[in-house]
Structure 1
Amino acid sequence: MASKSDTREMYRVKPYYGSEVLATKSGVMYKTENLHTDVTNTIHISKESLVTGDNPAAELEQRQELILKKLQDLKEVVSGLRRRYGTVHTSNCGSSSSSVSATRSSNVTTSSLLQGDVLLDLVISVNPSSPPLSLFVLYELLKQQYKVGAKTYVHSSAVNVPEKLTSIFTNDGTKERGDNHLMITVIWKDVSNGPTLMVEPHRQTPIIGESNIARYLMRLLNPNYDTDDIAKVTQIDEWLDTANIQVLQGNTKEKSAAVRSLNSRLGRNDWLVGSRLSLADIVMWSALNQSNQVSDAPANVKKWLKLCSSNSAFKSCL
């Protein structure tokens, strides 16, 4: 066992500041070299422009100003790269109308995420064993409103992916990538907790789950989604939760209860929320198809499924 003296010697580190103690009017106790890069060379400002050591506070202040100038120059360079390569910074996901419309109405403005010349890039990872059909429907609706490009890739973790899945997201080849408002890239891969959406893949936290991705895309479709009718949005969220928790992830008893509730609702209304197609209908339609609840569906649900399928966006998905 090492003695205390051996232990002290083992971990002994020489003082960085050396032994020279200064007694200067600046009040510095130890003399050390300046560890910072000489910013004067970096931003092409001569050393002569700096205040000399007679006034250390003024020199420090001027160095700070030079560093801030350098940061501003870097910011302008980054902004230029963003414009050149078509990337966009997103801090929120905007807002949209609670109802789905094939055309943009006069009181609905373009989503703030899709304004200007910058491209919004979405990367969605999807398991081919449970394709999120609502995503395909929303893709068709987005194409009616914006310039949308799409590409599909197959990850090495996914095997025997049907051609009908790999070809569903295709660009018509008439537009270059930078000509689009929105670029959707679908990667078929083995993901275990539902589809995952990445906005700006290099920096964004993923959005997980079909319902959550559908909410995000809906806010791109219609900017008044969260402000038009709060009660309607709440009802839509309830049906989205039912589709996700009970129909997709629930046991047999929970799925049957959800279908009965759906049938009761559709006995009095053509659509789940409001007087026309909404996000609730799109996601619930997807959930029923994925969970094999369509063939044995009760009468009102079958009538509603037929009504959904008559929509052009659903026809493309089917």
Structure 2
Amino acid sequence: MPMYQVMPVCGEIKVAVLDFMYKLPNIHQEKERLAIQTLTARQDQIMKKAYELKVAAGGLVKTVTIPDADPADSLSPAHISGSPATTTTTPFGGAVADLGALLGEDPGALRDIVISANPAQPPPLTLLVLHALLSQRYRVLSTVGVHSSVSGGVVLPPELLSCLGPCHPDSYDRQCFQVGFTLLWRDVPKLQMRYCVQKMCPVEGEANVARFLFRLLAQYPGDPALATLLDSWVDRAFFELAEGSSTEQRAATLSALNAALGRSTWVAGSEFTLADIACYCCVLQCGLASSPPANVQRWLEACDNLGLFATTRLLLPAVTKVSHC
């Protein structure tokens, strides 16, 4: 006999055994099917937009990722312009350069070239001429920005903020362009260019940057002697004319230029090259174009007839307008 006997407190409990865990509505009904189709279409649109943002961010990283910049610094876009169409014409002789072979094939990503220049120094006239030629050859998205290192108390003239041309109406769509060309006014001791931040060290000096941009337009001469002559005149233009330490040195270089132009139509031979662009801009920058020797005068007029240097004479005085508040 048990020690304790407990009486039942409730009657018989019947538990319904289910053959499913959760009850769901029938998705095969017409209303639910249309809702799913709408949701799927919206998801496709979101994924497409996400891909476009990824491509745009991949191009922008070359512009905003500057290793020696302070994280608190910022880039203030001052002007954006671009060229909507391409042409195959070029004033340079020889074959036209292949952009994909030089900068690498990267489908869907904009190739960004970022140049930092000090507004307190003479403007990079050579690079502006090469930018105009690039805009004729490729679809170029051009941007002028002001770095925070010079924004405080410094007033830049409008000529420096619009030196790459008027704003392009399609500048919001980076995929419409082949090359991004950004000129960043920044407090740097020497002009420098960055193309691929992750794989490439900065290229310093206007002469070296000009050589890089020139190779996007035309091939260097195959003749080693002619290529050396071209490089020699590019160096002399910047180091002896633009950065010459004395009036006598500049006069001697101008005399040598006059003698070279007495032997050929252009500075480095019978074809218009980077040497002509560099020498023209440096002669103009030094103020030697007012009363040059006869051969130099003839050559200056021939360069003006090409229509490539129209903005250089207007931009040169702009650097003197940089004021400090």
If the length of structure 2 is used for normalisation, what is the TM-score? 0.62
Counterpart of 1:209? Answer: 205
Shift of 1:274: 2.1
2:299 is aligned with 1:299: no
Counterpart of 2:223? Answer: 229
Within the candidate set 184, 189, 195, 2:186 is matched to: 189
1:200-279 alignment to 2 at 5 Å? 200-201=196-197, 204-222=200-218, 224-225=219-220, 228-251=222-245, 252-279=247-274
Question: CA 1:304–1:152 in structure 2 vs 1: closer, same or farther (change >3 Å)?
Answer: same
Unaligned runs of 5+ in 1: 1-79, 91-99
What secondary structure sits across from 1:157 in the alignment? helix
Shift of 1:277: 1.1
Conservation of the 8 A alpha-carbon contact between 1:198 and 1:204: yes
Conservation of the 8 A alpha-carbon contact between 2:117 and 2:183: yes
Quick one: distance in 2 between partners of 1:136 and 1:282? 10
Q: Which moved more, 1:134-143 or 1:293-302?
A: 293-302
Which amino acid in structure 2 is aligned with residue 269 of structure 1? S
Shift of 1:89: 11
What secondary structure sits across from 1:192 in the alignment? coil
Quick one: distance in 1 between partners of 2:298 and 2:117? 30
Conservation of the 8 A alpha-carbon contact between 1:271 and 1:281: yes
Quick one: distance in 1 between partners of 2:307 and 2:90? 9
2:133 is aligned with 1:141: yes
Quick one: distance in 1 between partners of 2:264 and 2:95? 26
Question: CA 1:130–1:244 in structure 2 vs 1: closer, same or farther (change >3 Å)?
Answer: same
1:43-122 alignment to 2 at 5 Å? 83=55, 85-87=57-59, 102=90, 107-111=95-99, 112=101, 113=103, 115=105, 116-122=107-113
Which amino acid in structure 1 is aligned with residue 150 of structure 2? S
Question: CA 1:107–1:265 in structure 2 vs 1: closer, same or farther (change >3 Å)?
Answer: closer
Q: Over aligned residue pairs, what C-alpha RMSD do you find?
A: 3.0
Question: CA 1:209–1:109 in structure 2 vs 1: closer, same or farther (change >3 Å)?
Answer: closer
1:105-184 alignment to 2 at 5 Å? 107-111=95-99, 112=101, 113=103, 115=105, 116-128=107-119, 129-155=121-147, 156-157=149-150, 159-170=154-165, 171-175=167-171, 176-184=173-181
Question: CA 1:286–1:103 in structure 2 vs 1: closer, same or farther (change >3 Å)?
Answer: closer
Counterpart of 1:50? Answer: none
Conservation of the 8 A alpha-carbon contact between 1:197 and 1:206: yes
Shift of 1:86: 4.3
Shift of 1:312: 2.3
Quick one: distance in 2 between partners of 1:103 and 1:295? 26
Quick one: distance in 2 between partners of 1:123 and 1:209? 13
Question: CA 1:317–1:172 in structure 2 vs 1: closer, same or farther (change >3 Å)?
Answer: farther
Bigger Rg, which one: 2
If the length of structure 1 is used for normalisation, what is the TM-score? 0.64
Q: Which has the higher contact order (CA 8 A, sep 6+)?
A: 2
What secondary structure sits across from 1:257 in the alignment? helix
Conservation of the 8 A alpha-carbon contact between 2:97 and 2:217: no
Shift of 1:301: 1.1
Shift of 1:272: 0.5
